Structure 1
Amino acid sequence: MFVLWSALVVGMVPSVASAAESVADTTEIDHALLWGRDIDQISAVMAVKLGFQVRPGRSAGGVANRYVRMADRSYLEVFGLQRANAELDPGMQADQASLRGGAGSRTFGLRSSILDQAHKFLQQQAFVPTPIFTASRTDPDGDGPASPPRWRLFAFEPQPLSSHLFFIDYAALDATPGRVSDERIAPQHPNGAEALTGLWLLSSDADADRRQFERMGFPTAIPVRLSHIAARGYCVPVGHKRIFALQPDGPGAAADALRNGGRQVLGLSIAVADLDLAKRRVERGYETELARYRGALGDAFLAPSQDDLGLLIEFHAFSQAAACTEAAG
């Protein structure tokens, strides 16, 4: 009996390792959710001060949204409350409980092309993913009731990380002339933005997030120190992009943000085609000169967006596969 049990355990190990590898190989950063004080305020900041093209979204139940879409399909989804008694889903409720009507980000999504397998694997790893939710069959942006739902996703209860995480996948929609035009126009940003390449998760225990990522199938974590915000932690590769699990490293921007807002998405990394052009654009928007530095993803500058957006936006020179350096800034 012992020999049989041992054989079964040994046989399971490659299966678990293979499943973890499959999840890691088919997962990318999809988008981050940003809340403004209202939809007009956050749209103006994104467009006028930061130089993004902000695309129309929908307004429903007292919540309005807009989109900043990138050429690689990653995007930023921005929200604003339109009334005090807005109808919020559980994720929105959790964000608003933390933000208390202010600006900032607490939630991000990872895109998985094997959503069902990822859901099963994460259950096997003792996480508690929610059931898989789908877009409505009558979604005005979908292909109708006879077609697959436009998106499918699952979140977690309880959440495994310091910021709220969900996994999502999308159906292939019909290539109508309008959609073809939108896909060509949407990623054209005055600041030259190409991709959302990094997310900065801030907590008091960066190693706790690192360990959770390892259990999810992302075992490679590179120690980093971001001196320009006085933070240290780990750079976790997720596909060709990076998630930074950070904690304060002495007095500075990270410590101030954690003290004032608790656990959060402290910042975003955006790859741009022309760093000098993007820098000049943001300098004009904020009417100030900005310094370039060598960041964790290469040459970069930091937009002074924290007062407006509740988070920092770092623009860096575009690279197909951004590597993490052990020390930056």
Structure 2
Amino acid sequence: MRSLTSLATAVLALSLSAFAIAAPAPAPRPVAGERLDHALLWGRSLDQISAAMSVKLGFQVAPGRAQDGLSNRYVRLDDERFIELLALGGHDGALDPGAQADQAALHGGAGARTFGIHTDALDATRAALLAQGLSATPVFSAAADDPDGTGPGTAPRWSLFALDPSPLSSRLFFIHYPPARADIAADRRIAREHANGARELSALWLLSADAEADRAQLARLGYPHAVPVRLAQIGARGYCVAVGPTRLLALQPDGDGAAADALRLGGAQIAGLSIGVSDLARAQRRVERGYEHTLTRYDGLAGASFLAPSQDDLGLWIEFHERGKTAGCAGAGG
């Protein structure tokens, strides 16, 4: 009897195992309409970072305003992507938790530790990520009396939630905007005209000690399409991960080099931004004049590219390439 019981138990275990293997995987999270939205780039002061972006790099810097304990300005690009420039405001206003976390890492220095992804379905995205076992803040929105909004009783200018703690090596939030008021939209179109010919934020570089961990978490977030890459220009390797028409590079140092130095000095960080330009020669000439330094092109993930020597000014590199290239994730559509 004991042998028959053992046999029955074994058969049952095999049956349950086969059922577990055959059980369908959870449906992938819908990611339609998602793309990189913007990075939060801190300077040592607002004037310092604005001067570096405009005088040295050739971007138009658009006005922002003081907000509690910080001030901001904008570098606006096509498809409503942008770079938000931030600095401590020099007064005792409170910082939101994300800004506090950034400053805990930066200690008043320049650099980026937080970025956002645009989504057309904010509530559904949050619900799906919570179902994955991730932790998210409540959705919060711009105030009804926001000067750039459309007033009480209308949709807020923006709404967002953050993943907290972040599953990635840098902090991440998801954001949604309703259609902009006509005059605000016109101001943004004007702000997208840059002396260096910049048109798009095409990729963002996450640098950590473990690129595979970031790749795995991006797959969990709904971005499974990853292609191995190497960035010889900074001595890094990792993965190019498609996020709609944009790309996240999950990187780690590849031996000694600039990436290893950046990680040693600053820890996990957003180490670079890729910017697509309308005329690469024009952009290179403009940046060379700004830095009074001759720059060399290389064959990057998006074809012919050059790297601005912006690490000391911005705490990250800015790579310029011809607009519309695939940024190294060919065959890995979002």
Give the TM-score normalised by structure 1.
0.91
Distance 1:296 1:237 in 2: 13
* Structure-to-structure mapping, 1:27-38, within 5 angstroms: 27-38=34-45
Matched, 1:283 2:288: yes
Q: What is the aligned partner in structure 2 of residue 87 from structure 1?
A: 94
Task: From the superposition, tell whether residues 208 and 229 of structure 1 become closer, same or farther in structure 2 (CA, over 3 Å).
Answer: same
- Structure 2 residue aligned with 1:186: 191
CA contact (8 A) 2:229 2:328 kept: no
1:86 is displaced (CA, Å) by 4.1
**Structure 2: which amino acid aligns with 1:171?**
P
> Following the alignment from structure 2 to structure 1, what is the Cα–Cα distance between the partners of residues 330 and 123?
34
Q: Give distance in 2, aligned partners of 1:297 and 1:324.
A: 9
Mapped partners of 1:256, 1:316: distance in 2: 24
Shift in CA distance, 156/313, structure 1 to aligned 2, threshold 3 Å: same
Deviation at 1:62, TM superposition (A): 3.3
8 Å contact kept, 2:201–2:275: yes
Answer whether contact 2:82 2:201 (CA < 8 A) is retained: yes
Q: Counterpart of 1:55 in 2: which secondary structure?
A: coil
Letter in 1 for 2:40: L
Displacement of 1:85 in angstroms is 3.4
| Match of residue 274 from structure 1 | 279
SS of equivalent residue, structure 2 residue 164: coil
Could you say which residue in structure 2 is the equivalent of 1:230?
A: 235
Q: 1:139 to 1:235 in 2, by over 3 A?
A: same
Which ranges in structure 1 are unaligned for 5 or more consecutive residues?
Answer: none
> 1:240 corresponds to which letter in structure 2?
P
Tell me, yes or no, if structure 1 residue 169 matches structure 2 residue 176.
Answer: yes
The yes-or-no answer on 1:138 pairing with 2:110 is no
Please report how far the alpha carbon of residue 83 of structure 1 lies from its aligned counterpart in structure 2 after TM superposition: 1.4
Query: In 2, distance between residues paired with 1:303 and 1:50?
Result: 8
Partners in 1 of 2:289 and 2:146 — Cα distance?
A: 39
Q: Deviations over 1:110-150 (max 9, x none)?
A: 00001111111111111111111111111111001110111
TM-fit CA distance, 1:179: 2.4
**Partner of residue 218 from structure 1, selected from 220, 223, 239:** 223
Structure 1 counterpart of 2:124: 117
C-alpha deviation, 1:325, in angstroms: 6.7
AA aligned to 1:165 is L
Offset, 1:84: 5.9
Instruction: Give the gaps of 5 or more residues in structure 2.
Output: 1-14
Q: Residue type of the partner of 2:179? A: A
**2:12 counterpart residue number:** none
* Amino acid corresponding to residue 197 of structure 1 in structure 2: S
Aligned partner (choices 310, 325, 332) of residue 305 of structure 1: 310
Matches of 1:194 and 1:110, distance apart in 2 = 18
**Range that drifts further, 77-86 or 43-52:** 77-86
Contact 1:197 1:269 in 2 (8 A): yes
Distance 1:83 1:183 in 2: 27
Match of 1:54 among 38, 56, 61: 61
CA-based RMSD: 1.8
- Matched with 2:33 is 26
SS at match of 2:320: strand
Q: Which has the larger radius of gyration?
A: 2
Aligned to 1:197: 202
For residue 254 of structure 2, what is the aligned residue in structure 1? 249
**CA deviation digits over 1:169-219, x for unaligned, max 9?**
0012332xx324313311100000000000000000000000001111111
Q: CA deviation at 1:296?
A: 1.0
Contact 2:41 2:86 in 1 (8 A): yes
| Further displaced range: 274-283 or 178-187 | 178-187
Q: Is the 8 A contact 1:297 1:324 kept in 2?
A: no
Work out whether residues 143 and 174 of structure 1, in 8 Å CA contact, stay in contact via their aligned partners in 2: yes
Greater CA deviation, 30-39 or 131-140?
A: 131-140
- 1:78-103 Cα offsets, whole Å, 9 max, x none, are 01113163421000000000000000
Structure 1 residues 84, 174: closer, same or farther in 2, change over 3 A? closer
Is this contact kept in 2: 1:296–1:325, CA < 8 A? no
Q: CA deviation at 1:321?
A: 4.5
Aligned to 2:11: none
SS at match of 1:107: strand
- Partner amino acid, structure 2, of 1:252: G
Once the two structures are TM-superposed, the CA of residue 63 in structure 1 deviates from its matched residue by 1.1
Asked if 2 retains the 8 angstrom alpha-carbon contact of 1:29 and 1:238, the reply is yes
Separation (CA, whole Å) in 2 of partners of 1:310 and 1:102: 8
